[in-house]
Amino acid sequence: MAKSNKTAITPTRDQDYAEWYQQVIRGAEMAESSPVRGCMVIRPWGYALWENVQKAMDKRFKETGHENAYFPLLIPLRFIEKEAAHVEGFAKEMAVVTHHRLEMQDGKLTPAGPLEEPMVIRPTSETIIGEAFSGWIRSYRDLPLKINQWANVMRWEMRPRLWLRTSEFLWQEGHTAHADENEAREEVLTMLEVYREIVEEHMAIPVIPGAKSEGERFPGAVDTFTIEAMMQDGKALQSGTSHYLGQNFSTAANIRFQNEEGDWEFCHTTSWGSSTRLIGGLIMTHADDDGLRLPPRIAPDHVVIVPIIREDSQHDTVMAYAEDVAAKLRAQSFDDAPVKVRVDTRKIQSQEKRWDWVRKGVPIILEVGPRDIEEGKAAFSRRDQIREKKQFLTIAEIAGEIEELLWGIQSTLFEEAKAWRAARTREDITDLKAFEDHFNALKGNTFNADGGFVKAWWCESSESEASLKELGVSVRCIPLDQPEGEGKCVLTGAPAHRMAIFAKSY
């Protein structure tokens, strides 16, 4: 068997980035599109990733004092109408339920029994949770109220993409109510930091935490904060948001409390969300031309053992050896839990197994065959160095180093992504001409090094933000981490107090 330069995914990123993205998803069996426009079927491998993200987040939500609850999928139309900006922001993307029955007419099932009041399928739950909060909160002693819900939501998208933008998606939405603005604002930043931590430290996706500009705020929010990630094609991905809603929603839903003086006040509320979009971000951050690459902390399996069996007579001994190796590795721990090991017992060719796991992105693949048993060895390869030569290591060596190896892969993926982002972030663009030239040089759907972020001083005027539209660029965020001093706005030349990240985005 000659060494092959064939990539496991066709086309490569360089040939057709958008098509590559879809083939990675197909190749790793993560998801597929469904008969329902814009909706996806999440397959076990993709769902396992989401579950691992969920697990990590849920733990942090609870550690930061939140409780899970569940609210209805259907929201009465009049709830949505309560908050003006919210109405405007979501009206165009809502699925509406208008009937409660089907009847056979001319051989076809036809909606019947019109609802007196139509319902919308939740695009987010501010309004219906607000309704509940207004009933739960009476006194300052009831505050803060900190609730999270894991749910599905629906937004009728014009242009869906698997994971990144589907009409129905899974997410968590946190909703909290506080007695005063400071406490609410602190909550908003605390949860933004939780997002940063999970996304960077578990998913190994580097992000920039920052404030959203006026034009990019959540409908109805006073302030929106975001973590922005850069995909391999240089586009930005909003990967989690946290909103200070002021008293907009509490006024609309009548969420009031009596303070210590006995006066009635409206609560200050927050909401924050992150979704299955993160899995799309994971793909576009770490996957390569051989498929997915998973950071060990969220990988469904850390190690897959592929038995190499030459003859039937060797089957039992090799399998016994494989199980023995698995047991030795499971006795080790990584990230405060036993190392997750799978022995691939499928009755297919060993090479096919190997490439299957390469495409699925498992961090470590071990091949064990008859030759290894005597020496107590295995052929070791790591996904982030999959084109390197396999090493033959003893099980003792592998077991002894497995924890360190997995952390090494975790940090390698993170460092590679940071380097990629750094190489595609321009900080030397200081005037409009250079700014326009930079973004005009980009040609549509290309995978190249020309895109990426421009970090520059910005005056924050809404006129200048609106002017970005024709370039196809937006203000991704105003980073929390700001340099000293002031500068001149890259767009207008006016004095600017803060720097912003500009980019094309998903």
Partner RNA sequence: CGGGGCGUGGCGCAGCCUGGUAGCGCAUCUGCUUUGGGAGCAGAGGGUCGCAGGUUCGAAUCCUGCCGCCCCGACCA
CB of 484 to RNA, least distance (A): 30
Pairing of strands 453-458, 256-258: unpaired
- 290 belongs to the binding site for RNA (CB under 7 A): yes
Q: Binders of RNA: how many residues, by CB under 7 A?
A: 77
144 or 363: CB nearest RNA:
363
- 159 belongs to the binding site for RNA (CB under 7 A): yes
Choice from 12, 29, 33, 73 touching RNA (CB under 7 A): 33
DSSP state of 104: E
- 234 belongs to the binding site for RNA (CB under 7 A): no
Where does this chain touch RNA (CB under 7 A) — which range of 332-340, 344-352, 395-403, 452-460? Answer: 344-352
- 54 belongs to the binding site for RNA (CB under 7 A): no
- 213 belongs to the binding site for RNA (CB under 7 A): no
- 104 belongs to the binding site for RNA (CB under 7 A): no
Q: Which helix (H) or strand (E) holds 153?
A: strand 145-154
- 122 belongs to the binding site for RNA (CB under 7 A): no
CB of 232 to RNA, least distance (A): 13
Q: Coil, strand, or helix at residue 118?
A: strand
143 or 283: CB nearest RNA:
283
- 146 belongs to the binding site for RNA (CB under 7 A): no
Q: Which positions from 169 through 208 interact with RNA, judged by CB under 7 A? A: 169
Residues 6+ away with beta carbon under 8 Å from 131: 79, 253
The DSSP-derived string for 437-497 is HHHHT--SS--SSS-SEEEEEE---HHHHHHGGGGT-EEEEEESS--SS-EE-TTT--EES
Q: Which residue type is seen at 266?
A: F
Q: Report the half-sphere exposure of 132 (CA within 13 A, side-chain side).
A: 14
Q: How many CB atoms lie within 10 A of CB 72?
A: 12
CB of 350 to RNA, least distance (A): 5
- 498 belongs to the binding site for RNA (CB under 7 A): no
- 387 belongs to the binding site for RNA (CB under 7 A): yes
- 448 belongs to the binding site for RNA (CB under 7 A): no
Cis? peptide before 296, omega within 30° of 0: no
Q: Which neighbouring-strand residues pair with 498?
A: 458
Q: Which positions from 298 through 317 interact with RNA, judged by CB under 7 A? A: 308-311
Q: Which positions from 416 through 445 interact with RNA, judged by CB under 7 A? A: 444-445
Distance CA 446, CA 448 (A): 6
Choice from 130, 174, 219, 451 touching RNA (CB under 7 A): 219
CB of 169 to RNA, least distance (A): 4
Where does this chain touch RNA (CB under 7 A) — which range of 43-51, 181-189, 330-338, 387-395? Answer: 387-395
6 or 433: CB nearest RNA:
6
CB of 368 to RNA, least distance (A): 6
- 106 belongs to the binding site for RNA (CB under 7 A): no
165 or 497: CB nearest RNA:
165
Question: Would you say 379 and 391 are in contact if contact means Cβ atoms under 8 Å apart?
Answer: yes
Choice from 57, 137, 386, 477 touching RNA (CB under 7 A): 386
Choice from 3, 264, 336, 433 touching RNA (CB under 7 A): 3
80-116 b/e (C-beta count within 10 Å ≥ 16 → b): bebbeebeebbeeebeeeeeeeeeeeeeeeeeeeeee
Choice from 29, 216, 265, 450 touching RNA (CB under 7 A): 216
Q: Which positions from 255 through 284 interact with RNA, judged by CB under 7 A? A: 273, 275-277
- 470 belongs to the binding site for RNA (CB under 7 A): yes
Q: Coil, strand, or helix at residue 190?
A: helix
- 394 belongs to the binding site for RNA (CB under 7 A): no
Choice from 262, 263, 348, 485 touching RNA (CB under 7 A): 348
Choice from 107, 349, 428, 463 touching RNA (CB under 7 A): 349
Q: Which helix (H) or strand (E) holds 320?
A: helix 315-330
Choice from 390, 418, 497, 498 touching RNA (CB under 7 A): 390
- 158 belongs to the binding site for RNA (CB under 7 A): yes
| φ, ψ (nearest 5 deg) of residue 322 | -60, -45
89 or 487: CB nearest RNA:
89
What sign does the CA torsion over 496, 501, 505, 506 have? Answer: negative
The DSSP-derived string for 283-319 is HHHH-BTTB----GGG-S-SEEEEE--SSGGGHHHHH
Exposed, middle or buried: residue 487 (CB in 10 Å: 0-12, 13-18, 19+)?
middle
Question: Would you say 395 and 378 are in contact if contact means Cβ atoms under 8 Å apart?
Answer: yes
Q: Which positions from 364 through 383 interact with RNA, judged by CB under 7 A? A: 367-372, 378-379, 381
CB of 143 to RNA, least distance (A): 27
Choice from 54, 127, 148, 167 touching RNA (CB under 7 A): 167
Distance CA 251, CA 246 (A): 9
- 38 belongs to the binding site for RNA (CB under 7 A): yes
